[in-house]
Amino acid sequence: MTEKLLQYLWNYKIFKYFDFKDIEGNSVEIIQFGKWNKDAGPDFLDAKIKVNNLVLAGNIELHIRSSDWIFHNHSQDPNYQNIILHVVFQHDIEITELNHKGISTLELKDYIDENILWKYENLINGNQFIACENIFNKEKIPINFHEGNILKKLEEKSLELEERLIHHKNNFEAVLFHSLAYSFGLKVNAHIFRQIAESLDYNIINKIRQNPLQFESLLFGISGWLENPEDGQMKIWKREFEFLKVKFNISDLKFRPKFLRLRPPNFPTIRLSQLADLYRQQNLFSKIMDAENLNELYEVFKSVKASEYWDFHFNFGTISKVQPKVLSKDFIDLVILNTVLPLKYTYHKYHSEEIADKIMTFYRNIPAEKNSVTQGWKNLGLSITNAIESQSLIYHHKNSCEEKNCLTCSIGFKLLKES
């Protein structure tokens, strides 16, 4: 038993029966269980009880043991002066102060189904893919579970984007560039790519974006790759970088992307070249923000490819089999899910009531991601058919399952409640 679980059971009124009696044998009727207070002070506020035909209104404090009242130093705390009931899992000592004030102590040990305690103990101590794996039942997934998770994720992403917008003087185009750079970096280089993007004044990007040679030179130079040219093309990039560095007063700071544990198509050399090519498009921001359907977004990305040098290279100076480095469909979907849709939601949410529904439609039309997390859910019998489901389950796994937040999980609530 934990205090958090005890509060959970009290809040959701999960008891075998409700004919409560305090430790003196007096009948205790709970008229109002109170509002769960997750800040400082008593655990439940604005409660109402009836003891020996006397109705009392005030706050209720919960503890694992009666002695916790003393250990938590509540006696001298003015926040606990309006307590009308002390609820404990186990009564171990008399609290003289409460007795003198006529405050009843209610011991819950016999009112709680032991099966719930067993379930919770197994949940928080298990090492499975999800804590409730042994008792998981897909029928317990609530209606609109996935839509709720996606909206939560969108709101969280939107708050992050709004903070970045404040920092960058509400320049949506700059924030789009930084966000796209982050996505093109994937997990290994996401933060480094964003640092590269944010190290540049976006006005510089606007001035050179139509010149792919200069744009590549700038990105490669800031990455520290042009210091010792290995072939003629590298010398050209270096010359252009040195020119841009002087022209725009670019600092000597270098951000060095990583190659370790990456498949060649995901090498940072390829991804930065593709990012530069993406920005050759006119009105890129408008195209993305105004796109009404998935096909219009695919049109933005499907023709993007690394420059000609990379047709027969993956890294500098080393020739490889000729292969144009275009964006794969899976990569485009990833960029749309992680960057485009959150920014579209943020851009439109204050002046379009339908934007949430429109964004949901995009999610529904994108295939489900395939990774270890979605496979873990599939192993539990779930059918994952589109991105609204895969993104929801990935989000839920990260924020609820990995953190063992079973008491705030809508699935865990149903599983725990049922004996």
Describe the crossing of helices 387-396 and 372-379 by its angle, rounded to 10 degrees. 90
Q: Is the confidence at residue 214, as pLDDT, over 80?
A: yes
Backbone angles phi, psi at 359, to 5 degrees: -65, -40
pTM: 0.80
Q: Which residue has the higher pLDDT, 40 or 201?
A: 201
Q: Is the confidence at residue 189, as pLDDT, over 90?
A: yes
CA–CA separation, 20 and 108 (whole Å): 8
Q: Which residue has the higher pLDDT, 123 or 89?
A: 89
- How confident is residue 412, by pLDDT bands cut at 50, 70 and 90? confident
Rounded to 5°, angle at Cα 403 from 397 and 407: 95
CB 224 within 8 A of CB 254: yes
Count of alpha carbons within 13 angstroms of residue 17, beta-carbon side: 4
CB 104 within 8 A of CB 86: yes
Which of 397, 395, 363, 365 has its CA nearest to residue 380? 397
- C-alpha 292, offset from chain centre: 26
pLDDT for position 403? 87
Over the chain, what is the mean pLDDT?
94
CA–CA separation, 337 and 334 (whole Å): 5
- How confident is residue 306, by pLDDT bands cut at 50, 70 and 90? very high
- How confident is residue 407, by pLDDT bands cut at 50, 70 and 90? confident
> Residue 398 has what DSSP assignment?
I
C-alpha pair distances (Å), 76 with each of 81, 98, 129: 9, 12, 45
pLDDT in tens, 14-60: 899 999 999 999 999 999 999 999 888 999 999 999 998 899 999 99
CA–CA separation, 72 and 180 (whole Å): 50
pLDDT for position 399? 93
Q: Is the confidence at residue 172, as pLDDT, over 90?
A: yes
Q: Is the confidence at residue 124, as pLDDT, over 80?
A: no
Q: Percent of the chain scored above 90 by pLDDT?
A: 83
Which of 117, 37, 146 has its CA nearest to residue 410? 146
Q: Which residues pair with 305 in a beta bridge?
A: 326
Ranking 255-264, 285-294, 399-408 by mean pLDDT, the lowest is 399-408
Average of pLDDT values for 170-197?
97
pLDDT for position 19? 93
- How confident is residue 290, by pLDDT bands cut at 50, 70 and 90? very high
CA–CA separation, 255 and 191 (whole Å): 10
Average of pLDDT values for 79-96?
93
pLDDT for position 404? 85
CA–CA separation, 404 and 130 (whole Å): 8
Q: Is the confidence at residue 350, as pLDDT, over 60?
A: yes
- How confident is residue 273, by pLDDT bands cut at 50, 70 and 90? very high
> Residue 263 has what DSSP assignment?
-
Token pair 């404990």 is found at: 88
- How confident is residue 106, by pLDDT bands cut at 50, 70 and 90? very high
Q: Is 286 helix (H, G, I), strand (E, B) or coil?
A: helix
- How confident is residue 192, by pLDDT bands cut at 50, 70 and 90? very high
pLDDT for position 182? 98
CA–CA separation, 364 and 414 (whole Å): 27
Cα Dmax for the chain = 94
| Pairing relationship of beta strands 54-65 and 44-51 according to DSSP bridges | antiparallel
CB 359 within 8 A of CB 344: yes
Token pair of 382 as six digits: 């779930």
CA–CA separation, 298 and 23 (whole Å): 68
Q: Is the confidence at residue 385, as pLDDT, over 80?
A: yes
Token pair of 19 as six digits: 């004919």
Element (H, E) at 84: strand 83-90
CB 401 within 8 A of CB 415: no
pLDDT in tens, 125-143: 767 899 888 888 999 999 9
pLDDT for position 51? 94
Q: Taking the CB of residue 334, how many other CB atoms lie within 10 A of it?
A: 18
* First CA to last CA distance, the chain: 17
Ranking 47-61, 146-160, 401-415 by mean pLDDT, the lowest is 401-415
- How confident is residue 239, by pLDDT bands cut at 50, 70 and 90? very high
Q: Is the confidence at residue 123, as pLDDT, over 80?
A: no
Which of 326, 341, 355, 327 has its CA nearest to residue 294? 341
Q: Taking the CB of residue 147, how many other CB atoms lie within 10 A of it?
A: 16
pLDDT for position 40? 85
Backbone angles phi, psi at 276, to 5 degrees: -65, -40
